Structure 1
Amino acid sequence: MFFQKLKEITTFIFDVDGVLTDGSVQVTESGESLRTFNIKDGYAMQLAVKKGYHFCIISGGDGIALRKRFLNLGISDIFLAAGDKVSIFNQYLKEKGITASEVLYMGDDIPDLKVMKLVGLPTCPADAAEEIKAISTFISPYNGGKMAARDIIEKVMKVQGRWHDENPNAADSGK
């Protein structure tokens, strides 16, 4: 059943803090929030975009650096400072002509709960909140920001025979 769901995925939607980062935020004296991302997660994300998957970020977090990181990976569907993730999700599906069953969503905490209940494949990092783990079809053995995103993206792409990149570029994940 799990592998069949992997075969049906056309769209990845990820939260940021606690999923693509370890949830830590450093705040500078000027008030800017700094986050650390995993390069291996970045490689998998940019490869998924190159291979034609829809890729979307929906996060309550915000910041110029955050947006720049995703744009540099080729992700243009970026919704930051998202208060109502369900509304954004529904509008995104409508605009792209995607059904919820095609969507893999990775979240880690209570703000992700409602939208995760709507998708075909709800997933989370190993250190997600218990409520999120309880509704997830797949719980990565990796923590947020520590290759949980790479883990599930790679699984989907391998099952679909789309993981290999004929012309890998080492600079793609580090942008």
Structure 2
Amino acid sequence: MAKSYKELMNDITTFIFDVDGVLTDGSVFISNEGDMLRTMNIKDGYAMKAAVESGYNVCIISGGYNEGVRVRLHNLGIKDIHLGVPNKVKTFDEYTALYNINHEQVLYMGDDIPDYHVMKLVGLASCPQDASPEIKTISNYISHKNGGKGAVRDVIEQVMKVQGKWMEYFDGKNN
């Protein structure tokens, strides 16, 4: 019998996220100078920072490239940021080998076809509510939130709660 997504969350040590359509809503605003601007959800950022500070591995693998995205994610404490990636499986394999991460311990959140093959390799494949049908079909968990609208917060919070680390993180912050 296959494990439920909540059972799979017990084993997660590593979060890997796509950017466009996951950390953003997939919209791109183009300035007069030709810069492509994106928006990210503050709550997603807060959860990623909590995950990093709680000892989880957090990695970004995106086909898109934007230096502003890199700066934002770096400021959240994320060190493994791979932008402009033509082959996500190759980058995934290199990342997991570098840190000796078992694929079963990885939660990957993607939203579209470029994420498909890497999502087939992980312990817990997840996606935002507005992901493509092909991605929804292979996902163990489909967030009730859309990309860029809290889907990342949703999945991080759930994993940390299942593992008893969500409120532990905030209690340790002396808030």
**Matches of 1:135 and 1:129, distance apart in 2:** 11
- The residue number in structure 2 matching 1:172 is none
- Please report the RMSD computed on the Cα atoms of aligned residues, expressed in angstroms: 1.0
Amino acid aligned to 1:167:
K
Query: 1:19 is matched with which residue: 18, 22, 33?
Result: 22
- The residue number in structure 2 matching 1:153 is 156
Write out per-residue CA displacement over residues 49-70 of structure 1, whole angstroms, 9 at most, x where no aligned residue.
0000000000011111010010
**Matches of 2:131 and 2:174, distance apart in 1:** 32
TM-score (structure 1 length as normaliser): 0.94
Query: 1:134 is matched with which residue: 133, 137, 140?
Result: 137
After TM superposition, the structure 1 = structure 2 runs for residues 7-86 of structure 1, keeping only pairs within 5 Å, are 7-86=10-89
Write out per-residue CA displacement over residues 110-137 of structure 1, whole angstroms, 9 at most, x where no aligned residue.
0000000000000000000000000000
**Matches of 2:132 and 2:111, distance apart in 1:** 6
**Matches of 2:104 and 2:174, distance apart in 1:** 30
Write out per-residue CA displacement over residues 6-26 of structure 1, whole angstroms, 9 at most, x where no aligned residue.
010000000000001100011
**Matches of 1:108 and 1:63, distance apart in 2:** 18
State the shift of 1:30 in Å. 1.8
In structure 1, the gaps of 5 or more residues are 170-175
- 1:95 matched to 2:98: yes
**Matches of 1:138 and 1:91, distance apart in 2:** 25
